[in-house]
């Protein structure tokens, strides 16, 4: 896929999915207007030899202090795989993944300071001495949120399902289907407290699909409640989606800890 086509595709997906949001009157979660598309940075990290997660976290804590001082601190979460697609033939290449969420303007300022200020450059050098992190950027659109739980739950579980539209399926058609699912979640979320679509926009050439369905659960009981709903008839909607709208890789589940909120 050419660079221009990739940019056009991400922009078109973003424009269509942005119209599919179904949220309450309060659209602000952790300082981010989730009624609008927002930016998510993914850090895919593997610790360097001899570095502990506690040593790495010490650097992250110093980063939070620096970011707060410069008014560019993001929502910062860390995920570890729990039920992944990996096996002995295809092992998980990273120790963990971090996601940093912010509006686009704030994140542009954050990167300018990170790359040009003395404090930012020092932290960057320290970061690279502790871990190898591959950095990606993505657009995200929140389609459903229990805003109170999303803003307060710091230990939760997240499923990922990467998808690509079937040939001939338009952006409008898949957007309408997502909006339909989001409306149903208003009546019965099946344990989900947040559902968003994530679309890589920079550094995502090897992404597993055009976009990812990301569902957030407060605990494993809620996750299994959703699985029970799927097993007892909910599979019909999933079957229709897979047959008619998109080819998807299947869900994987990560643990997630919210380490910082602005």
- Tokens, residue 208: 């597993």
Q: In the chain, where are the structural domains located?
A: 3-260
Query: Residue 27 has what pLDDT?
Result: 72
Mean pLDDT of the chain: 87
Can you name the residues that pair with 195 across neighbouring β-strands?
144, 215
| Residues 6+ away with beta carbon under 8 Å from 154 | 257, 258
Q: What does the pLDDT look like over 135-162, one tens digit per residue?
A: 999 999 999 999 889 989 999 999 999 9
CA distance 163 to 210: 6
Residue 235 has pLDDT above 90, yes or no: no
Question: In terms of pLDDT, which residue wins out, 176 or 17?
Answer: 176
Please give the CATH topology (third level) of the domain spanning 3-260.
Alpha-Beta Plaits (3.30.70)
CA distance 217 to 226: 9
Q: What does the pLDDT look like over 33-61, one tens digit per residue?
A: 777 889 999 999 999 999 999 999 999 99
Query: Residue 90 has what pLDDT?
Result: 84
DSSP helix, strand, coil percent of the chain (3-state; round to 5): 40, 30, 25
| pTM score, whole prediction | 0.88
How far apart, in Å, do the first and last CA atoms of the chain sit? 37
Would you tell me how many other CB atoms lie within 10 Å of the CB of residue 249? Answer: 14
Q: CA quadruple 207, 99, 37, 110: dihedral positive or negative?
A: negative
- Tokens, residue 233: 């008839």
Q: What does the pLDDT look like over 124-137, one tens digit per residue?
A: 999 999 999 999 99
């Amino acid at each position: 896929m050419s660079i221009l086509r990739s940019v056009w595709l991400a922009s078109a997906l973003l424009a269509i999915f942005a119209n599919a949001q179904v949220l309450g009157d309060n659209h602000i979660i952790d300082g981010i207007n989730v009624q609008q598309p927002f930016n998510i940075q993914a850090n895919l990290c593997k610790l360097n030899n001899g570095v502990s997660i506690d040593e790495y976290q010490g650097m992250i804590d110093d980063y939070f202090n620096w970011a707060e001082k410069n008014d560019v601190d993001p929502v910062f979460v860390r995920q570890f795989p729990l039920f992944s697609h990996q096996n002995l033939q295809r092992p998980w290449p990273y120790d963990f993944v971090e996601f940093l969420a912010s509006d686009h303007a704030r994140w542009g300022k954050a990167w300018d300071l990170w790359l040009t200020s003395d404090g930012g450059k020092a932290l960057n050098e320290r970061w690279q001495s502790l871990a190898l992190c591959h950095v990606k950027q993505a657009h995200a659109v929140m389609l459903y949120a229990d805003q109170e739980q999303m803003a307060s739950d710091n230990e939760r579980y997240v499923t990922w399902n990467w998808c690509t539209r079937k040939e001939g399926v338009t952006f409008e058609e898949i957007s309408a289907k997502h909006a339909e699912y989001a409306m149903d979640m208003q009546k019965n979320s099946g344990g989900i407290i947040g559902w968003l679509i994530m679309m890589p926009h920079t550094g995502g050439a090897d992404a597993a699909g055009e976009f990812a369905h990301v569902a957030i659960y407060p605990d494993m009981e809620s996750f299994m409640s959703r699985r029970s709903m799927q097993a007892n008839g909910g599979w019909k909607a999933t079957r229709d989606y897979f047959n008619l709208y998109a080819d998807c890789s299947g869900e994987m589940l990560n643990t997630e800890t919210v380490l910082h909120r602005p």
